[in-house]
Amino acid sequence: MGRPSSCLHRGVGPPVTGYRDAVPSPLVDVRLRPIVGVDLGLLHGGDSEFDDFGPRPVRTEPPSPDLRSGPGGLAVVDPASHAVLGMVSWVWQRWGPNPESASPMIGVWLRREARGRGVGTAAQAALVDLFFERLRLHRVEAHTDVDNLVEQRALERIGFRREGVVRGAQWRRGAWHDGWLYSLLREEWLAAREGSAPTGG
């Protein structure tokens, strides 16, 4: 017996199965799951100064949940209420023609009411875990505005290192904006995992 659709439209619904419903976060508890059609109206973006790229086409199809392809995306969900809190996304960047030299660049957007309580940090940490656990890749990237201090802090808490400035890369609100390029390498991710693993006694 399904839930009433009005409930789903509020972003409250059962987890979608068939992917990996439970992606435990090392921080606050969030889940990542494929985005479905009823989520799309909740995942509009564009409501923060760092995400305001002007009018954008209405999305009619969910992004692919396949980590190997891109652009892709997953919903960020509260595991208790199943409420949709936002989404994580990725595109693939190439630093050389061979597959080994491709890296996902991740992004995140949260609904306004979900911000400021650790969800963004946890959601990106969960996505990074998925990439390193499932794919044989060496590097995950992220990019954020030089003024987006919250996102910078979230990335650095996960272990991302700032590599340098990406000059005049984004056109938003009538001006070009600089950003920081970040990366996290597999060996750093592994070291952080080992460092946070509970010790047996």
* List of residues contacting ligand COA (CB under 6 A): 48, 50-51, 86, 107-110, 115-121, 144, 148-151, 153-154, 157
Instruction: CB nearer to ligand COA: give 7 or 150.
Output: 150
Which residue, 132 or 145, is less far from ligand COA as judged by CB?
145
User: Least Å distance between CB 74 and ligand COA?
Assistant: 14
Residue 29 CB, nearest distance to ligand COA (Å)? 13
Give the max Cα distance, the chain.
Answer: 59
Q: By C-beta, is 14 or 165 nearer to ligand COA? A: 165
CA distance 65 to 88: 10
What's the burial of 50, exposed, middle or buried (CB within 10 Å: 0-12/13-18/19+)? middle
DSSP element (H, E) containing 84: strand 84-94
Instruction: Give the pairing of strands 102-110 and 139-145.
Output: parallel
149 vs 190, which CB is nearer to ligand COA? 149
CB 150 within 8 A of CB 197: no
Give min distance, CB of 31 to ligand COA, in A. Answer: 15
